[in-house]
Amino acid sequence: MFAVPWHNKIVLGATDTPVKRISTEPIPFEEEINFVLTHIGRYLTKDPQRSDVKYVCRVKAIGKRKSKKQAALARDHLVTIADSGMITITGGKWTTYRKMAEDVVNIAIEKAGLEKKKLYHCRHETGRS
């Protein structure tokens, strides 16, 4: 479960319900939405209602790995580099976005042949990014 403030709202998630077939409009199951609302309600001063939900998403990109456990895959991120040099990141989670960004920036620095300086690394101090 996570809760990330975003533009005076809260991004909430997530569940790991596997699906057999991905649709072009992947809508979460109501049980998943209710699960998130019920559990986040334990930490809020007011219980959230279904009408408070403005947007839902069901699909998380998962990088191809050897592990067979979907839940474990969904928590890791995978950085790949195409022959063209394009860097792609898949998987991961909202709560590890700084580590994900740092990994991508460090690879970009290496691929571009730039000198590594502290300036290039993600800063972890409060209020800085």
117 pLDDT tier (thresholds 50, 70, 90): low
* Residue 117 DSSP class: -
34-38: long-range contacts at Cβ-Cβ below 8 A with a sequence spacing of 24 or more? Answer: 36/1, 36/12
pLDDT at 126 over 80: no
Supply the pTM of this predicted model: 0.51
The percentage of the chain sitting over the pLDDT mark of 90, rounded to a whole number, equals 16
Average pLDDT, the chain: 78
pLDDT at 107 over 60: yes
Alpha-carbon distance 38 to 15, whole Å? 13
Q: What's the rounded mean pLDDT across residues 40-62?
A: 84
Structure tokens at 53: 């939900």
Alpha-carbon distance 18 to 71, whole Å? 9
Q: What's the rounded mean pLDDT across residues 50-71?
A: 69
56 pLDDT tier (thresholds 50, 70, 90): confident
128 pLDDT tier (thresholds 50, 70, 90): very low
Residues 6+ apart with CB under 8 A from 120: 105, 106, 109, 114
Contact 53, 33 (CB under 8 A): yes
